[in-house]
Amino acid sequence: MTDELTRLDRAHHLHPFTDFKALGEEGSRIIVHAEGVYIHDSEGRRLLDAMAGLWCVNLGYGREELITAATEQLRELPYYNNFFKSTHAPAVKLAAKLSEIAPAHMNHVFFTGSGSEANDTMLRMARRYWALKGKPEKQWIIARENAYHGSTVAGMSLGGMAPMHEQGGPLVPGITHVRQPYWFGEGRFGEGPLNDAADPSAQAFGRDCAAAIEARILELGEDKVAAFIAEPVQGAGGAIIPPESYWPAVKAVLAKYDILLVVDEVICGFGRLGAWFGSMHYDLAPDLMPIAKGLSSGYLPIGGVLVGDRVADTLIEEGGEFFHGFTYSGHPVCAAVALKNLEILQDERVIERVREDLGPYLASRWATLAEHPIVGEARSLGLIGALELVADKAGRARFDKSLAAGNLCRDICIERGLVMRSVGDTMIISPPLVITHAQIDAMVDLARDALDETARRLSL
């Protein structure tokens, strides 16, 4: 069966983010089953999924309540839309639930089918808001280099990943990118830990990154910028945790020029940082929050934009019809599953557990990997974390790019039964929020083992 699937896969299936020609004879790994934090492949191997799929399976695999919610809703009303003055209970109840858990000033949601669509939606909303306010010249969106905001044309234009920009252009106009608050990645490793009060250089760096936003605003024109978009902790760019000084300084700049704050919560939302939203962890009070992934724990595709009162009131009171929407906006089955997912996160106090117990426990265990000879930094916040691979700690040298050390380490992890992701030479984890202490121990042990083997194969 595996051979036949591999043959058909090669013959007919174009995969996202995959160099298909480079897959080799063995083809793709075929995942057949999953439970809790584990996935199983067609060769009968069990892997600890330290990435929660694509940062989304927050409740872990195999939750019967979600399966039941989907099945019941499929029987009751498998599809209807929310266009043209119709609606249905799952979308309404989910909207109300999201308003309950979101920051107090966010009381409306526009549903989409994915995080990319959520970012397309927020872009149109932000520009439309300013047009309705009589300031149509406020058009520019400032985003960050190396950011990921999705794969639609607007999503990838908002993202700051050069290889994406180079394919299938042109980009959406009116988007510009500024530097990211990546303390380690800017070649500063060895200059001190990220949030060490005794070492102010990282904090000065955070303020410099916020100052870069102000400089760009002044270049574009004080009254030309509609919004700034960023993730609280940048996910696909490399689990980049900003210095504590960054967000307060960014907020002050945006307030000074009356620019909307868009916080992309597609990864950080729904408990990843130990709060319902990353915005709550950093006290951000955004105007717009794109959401997806953990909204349904990835069981069914659903996303949306949470809209703050300032923007929502304007759209409702002054906007008339918003010519925008997707066939699957608020899809009843997806909405029913998302609602059940949020209820479980709430009833089982999953998010409190991440904040009070699992996050601190992971931090203490993960930090031990910083002692490894090929690890330059081990950082984590809540249940997101990264390891920076280096060739020489004392000499502050990265591995030669041609060695592809990150991909090697990722493949060795898989050989050992652990799914970690590599972004260049940054190894990332973002496990299900229901992971136990014992499973965290197992994850750290497997990672250490894989680091040893990576160092050995690189003949260090």
**Contacting residues toward ligand PLP, per CB under 6 A:** 54, 114-116, 119, 148-150, 231, 235-236, 264, 266-267, 292, 303
Closest to ligand PLP by CB, 386 vs 405, is 386
Question: CA-CA distances (angstroms) from residue 259 to 11, 213, 262?
Answer: 49, 11, 10
- Could you give the CA distance from residue 184 to residue 396 in angstroms, rounded to a whole number? 11
Residue 312: how many CA atoms within 13 Å on its side-chain side? 16
Pairing of strands 38-41, 46-49: antiparallel
Among all residues, whose Cβ is closest to ligand PLP?
115
Contact 448, 442 (CB under 8 A): no
Closest to ligand PLP by CB, 69 vs 236, is 236
Shortest spacing between CB 65 and ligand PLP, in angstroms = 23
What are φ and ψ of residue 198, in 5° steps?
Answer: -80, -10
- Could you give the CA distance from residue 381 to residue 233 in angstroms, rounded to a whole number? 9
Closest to ligand PLP by CB, 150 vs 359, is 150
Closest to ligand PLP by CB, 281 vs 365, is 281
Closest to ligand PLP by CB, 16 vs 24, is 16
Shortest spacing between CB 264 and ligand PLP, in angstroms = 5
Closest to ligand PLP by CB, 306 vs 405, is 306
Contact 103, 280 (CB under 8 A): yes
Shortest spacing between CB 280 and ligand PLP, in angstroms = 17
Left if phi > 0, otherwise alpha if psi is -120 to 50, otherwise beta: which for 210? alpha
- Could you give the CA distance from residue 121 to residue 262 in angstroms, rounded to a whole number? 12
Shortest spacing between CB 67 and ligand PLP, in angstroms = 21
DSSP E strands: which ranges in 210-278? 225-230, 260-263
> Angle 115-132/309-318 helices, nearest 10 degrees?
60
Closest to ligand PLP by CB, 112 vs 139, is 112
Closest to ligand PLP by CB, 150 vs 271, is 150
Shortest spacing between CB 235 and ligand PLP, in angstroms = 5
Contact 9, 27 (CB under 8 A): yes
Is it true that the peptide bond before 170 is cis, omega within 30 degrees of 0? Answer: yes
Biggest alpha carbon–alpha carbon distance for the chain: 66
Closest to ligand PLP by CB, 236 vs 405, is 236
Shortest spacing between CB 386 and ligand PLP, in angstroms = 14
Shortest spacing between CB 198 and ligand PLP, in angstroms = 32
Shortest spacing between CB 189 and ligand PLP, in angstroms = 24
Closest to ligand PLP by CB, 300 vs 427, is 300
Structure tokens at 276: 């319902």
Question: CA-CA distances (angstroms) from residue 404 to 50, 389, 390, 411?
Answer: 21, 11, 12, 11
- Could you give the CA distance from residue 250 to residue 228 in angstroms, rounded to a whole number? 9
Shortest spacing between CB 15 and ligand PLP, in angstroms = 14
Shortest spacing between CB 266 and ligand PLP, in angstroms = 4
DSSP E strands: which ranges in 197-321? 225-230, 260-263, 288-291, 303-308
Scanning the structure block, which residue is given the tokens 């996202």?
16
Sign of CA dihedral 342, 247, 204, 159: positive
